[in-house]
Amino acid sequence: MPLSKLREFLDSHNIKYLVISHSIAYTAQGIAGLVHVSGKKLAKTVIVKMDGVLAMAVVPASLHVDLSLLRSVAGADAVELATEREFTDAFPDCETGAMPPFGNLYDMPVYVDSSLAEHEEITFTAGTHRELVRLAWADVVRLVDPQIVNLVGKHEKDPIRTLRRAS
């Protein structure tokens, strides 16, 4: 069962979380509507290749990753969306397209759009197209240690200046 790896990890760190079950849905915006969560508060995990290495880019469900912005903030030469074929094997416990933003469980760097850090909680797919997990943003920062950057091109600040390690 896909949720078990994430759940075991959260339980082993004594993290409080909520599992939200819903009927099957495949798009982040579809899930947001189904569970009545704003697309700005539901995080979607997008798998990218940065200089040929898989990484996670996490953005609000209502927005898209700006690949040129990610390339700039990450200092990569090339960034492109990974194909399902390229990343499916990296997530043996997840349904394709339902990866949680816990790159530390899959040996991948995680880049999170800074707008998600504005909320006290984060909600995301939990390895299936039928379940979400909601937990405190501070717990994600502590457990995942993501790079918090501007990923969607909507921020006015210079993305290089705002690149920082989560603390």
pTM: 0.84
**CATH number of the domain enclosing 33:** 3.90.960.10
- Domains: count for the chain: 1
Identify the three-state secondary structure at position 77: coil
| Tokens describing residue 87 | 């990343």
Residue 68: DSSP 8-state:
H
pLDDT tens, the chain, 167 aa long: 355 789 999 999 999 999 987 767 666 666 666 565 765 678 999 999 999 999 999 999 888 999 999 999 999 999 999 999 999 999 999 988 889 999 999 999 999 999 999 989 999 988 888 888 999 999 999 999 999 999 997 543 434 434 444 43
- Which residues constitute the domain of residue 144? 3-165
